[in-house]
Chain A
């Protein structure tokens, strides 16, 4: 394969060309145990580290391109084994930023190629006049909304785009952003699927996992809680208190409400049994089903990823935020909780009695 093509693979390792290339090298995860591939593992770790520290990932085209290309799937495997949802997200966001920046510097044809190869998007270069401006691309409505529906910015709503003949017309910067968003989604899905590898490979990766886990927890403390197992219900944000109240009053919560409440409680250290017991007052309670779901969210099952509660923005869009004006400049319910606890500890000299959540 030409250097140009291998560079393409290094930049966009999630495309079909890259996947085929990786397959053609005969590389398999089991090889990681052999020590021959230290460089790849190190580069994979560097990717993750950069994501942890700067929230970004650089593309390294000066060294061995094969190392660069193969470090991508290896990084995903490592993240899968780590099973840290927070870290996975941070990594996915960093990958998507990396891709967006690269795409902005590419020719139009490369954008079309990446979209087609990575997601089978029928992105087309087509100049359209929109008022006094020209827009360069269009793509089918259904493919656009499948990704863009998760954006909360009103400018991304379909109703605010130029749509006709089944095509949404998009600017170049929008196309790069949309591709990047879908990269983020796919990276997260991929990480959640990669939760086990063969014994030998796992053994050789183990020390790296420990190392990264330590680094990550040091760096990403901002979402970590002050003390585990101590929960203080009156430090919960209003949205969560409302959900608890409704649940205790025997109301049935919407899906998103259940998810927000469960993830919040698990993340502030309430244990699974308590959460399950809490739901037992709901009219549609089914113990085994609820337990399964709660354990899943707690990262004890399936993907082994512990989920975080949704952000204030997401809660708002689902109508679950109860503070019209928001809670100060808080962007996440867990941050609300942490600040509140900290403030309280500062004023009460750290002798806050712990209260049961349930």
Chain B
């Protein structure tokens, strides 16, 4: 048996063990469902189901590799033409993925290869090949605890810095899902946002990403016609206080931030030497921003920009803006990892361990021929790096490697 058919068999066992309650969704019948299978390339789209039972039945009969539902609610979700579906609204969704976060460990576990010229490299894949400028880049990305922790920190930032204090969303309106691979989805279950078009959603995305900030609008001005700088205090709400706190954080850890602060050495040294005095000036009420009057205008701007980067949340804005997105179904399995898409409440997020809690196949061992893997951790098991080896592994790790396309089962 080849990897895909083995995975299909295992996925079926999983869906056989599920109950219909695992697949409930708000406004279930107004959603479009879509599937990718193990044996063909194309996506099966425009499905709709009358109940979770019916969906489960479908998944048992033809076990899918990936299951998606539409963030949108439709009049006729099964209509084939997008225009004929009758858009009624869509959930507000945020996608946070380790793919978009620059973690140092990516150098250790991720690689890429140009499909045109064969150039290879480690870490985050470039947009286009540095050798031949081709955009056909194949990525080999792996889950890793540190990357997932970075993604989780970003989710917490989104909730605690933006959704609750600024957008006034309550804890119980927030639903979090581990995506089954390298990130999290966050749904805001609030009627108010449901009818917004993409332009309006872009405003939300830009807000959390800190895109397009005009510092003058947040109180950074000069006093009269002097060079004396005025600015918001650390305790203010919204982006005003956030920029102020961002500056504080950057100055506080100035040695860490210095390499990315693009300013003359003179200004950078001044910031270093006066670190303590600056921190005190900023903590005053009202804060004494005039302390920065010595800085070149451009350097100050650079500092403020660094503060925004420090405070902004790294979401994939395309997902938030798209009002017809397909989202991975909670409690379904991710066909490229064999892990479960897990719903997590805000309260449980802190203790959630994706590489343990999302594991489904806990029983038994499997012998497989591993092509090439970096050092991996799945559940309690640590494997790799391995290349061209036959090994016997606990089921979850074996399934993960098979699903990544990095191995084939070996049958005696």
Contacts and interface: CB of A to CB of B under 8 A. Distances in A.
A105 interface: no
A220 interface: no
Contacts of A148: 203
Interface in A305-348: none
Contact of B204 (A140, A158, A162): A158
B214 A154 contact: yes
Interface in A35-85: none
B169 A146 contact: no
A142 B201 CA distance: 9
A163 B203 contact: no
Contact of B206 (A150, A159, A163): A159
Contacts of A130: 219, 240
B210 interface: yes
A157 B212 contact: yes
A149 B212 CA distance: 13
B193 A163 contact: no
Nearest to A167: B168
Interface string B194-232: 011101101110110011111001110000000000101
Nearest to B221: A131
B166 interface: yes
B212 A154 contact: yes
Given A155-B214, A164-B166, A164-B238, A145 B206 contact: no
Contacts of A106: none
B237 interface: yes
Interface string A153-188: 011011111111111000000000000000000000
A163 B204 contact: no
Contact of A150 (B199, B219, B232): B199
A141 interface: yes
Contacts of B213: 159-160
Given A159-B207, A165-B165, A142 B193 contact: yes
B219 A131 contact: yes
Contacts of A289: 81
Contacts of A154: 212, 214
B41 interface: no
A158 B237 contact: no
A157 B203 CA distance: 7
Interface residues of A, number: 25
B240 A149 contact: no
Given A140-B192, A145-B204, A163 B166 contact: yes
Given A131-B232, A141-B168, A162 B240 contact: yes
A164 to B, nearest CB: 4
Contacts of A158: 203-204, 206-207
A142 B196 contact: yes
B167 interface: yes
A154 B215 CA distance: 11
Contacts of A163: 166-167, 207, 238-239
B238 A162 contact: yes
A150, A158, A161: most-surrounded residue (chain B CB, <10 A): A158
Contacts of B238: 161-164
A140, A142, A150: most-surrounded residue (chain B CB, <10 A): A142
B212 A160 contact: yes
Contacts of A141: 167-168, 192, 204
Contacts of A160: 212-214, 217-218, 239
Interface string B258-277: 00000000000000000000
Interface string A277-319: 0000000000001000000000000000000000000000000
Contacts of A142: 192-193, 196, 200
B197, B202, B217: most-surrounded residue (chain A CB, <10 A): B217
Contacts of A146: 195-197, 200
Interface string B58-102: 000000000000000000000001000000000000000000000
Contacts of B195: 146
Nearest to A129: B236
A166 B169 contact: yes
B91 to A, nearest CB: 13
A189 to B, nearest CB: 14
B237 A164 contact: yes
A160 B212 CA distance: 8
A145 B211 contact: no
Nearest to B92: A142
Contact of B168 (A131, A155, A159, A165): A165
B40 to A, nearest CB: 22
Nearest to A153: B214
A162 B192 contact: no
A159 B192 contact: no
B384 to A, nearest CB: 42
Contacts of A150: 199
Contacts of B210: 159
Given A149-B203, A167-B168, A162 B214 contact: no
A29 to B, nearest CB: 30
A142 B197 CA distance: 11
A146 B192 CA distance: 11
Given A140-B192, A146-B197, 8 more contacts: A131-B232, A142-B196, A149-B203, A150-B199, A155-B214, A157-B207, A164-B238, A165-B166
Interface of B: 81, 165-169, 192-193, 195-197, 199-200, 202-204, 206-207, 210-214, 217-219, 230, 232, 237-240
8 contacts: A131-B240, A142-B192, A142-B200, A145-B203, A154-B214, A158-B206, A159-B207, A159-B213
Return the 10 tightest CB-CB contacts between A and B, nearest first: A166-B168, A160-B217, A164-B237, A149-B199, A131-B219, A158-B203, A145-B200, A142-B192, A145-B203, A149-B200
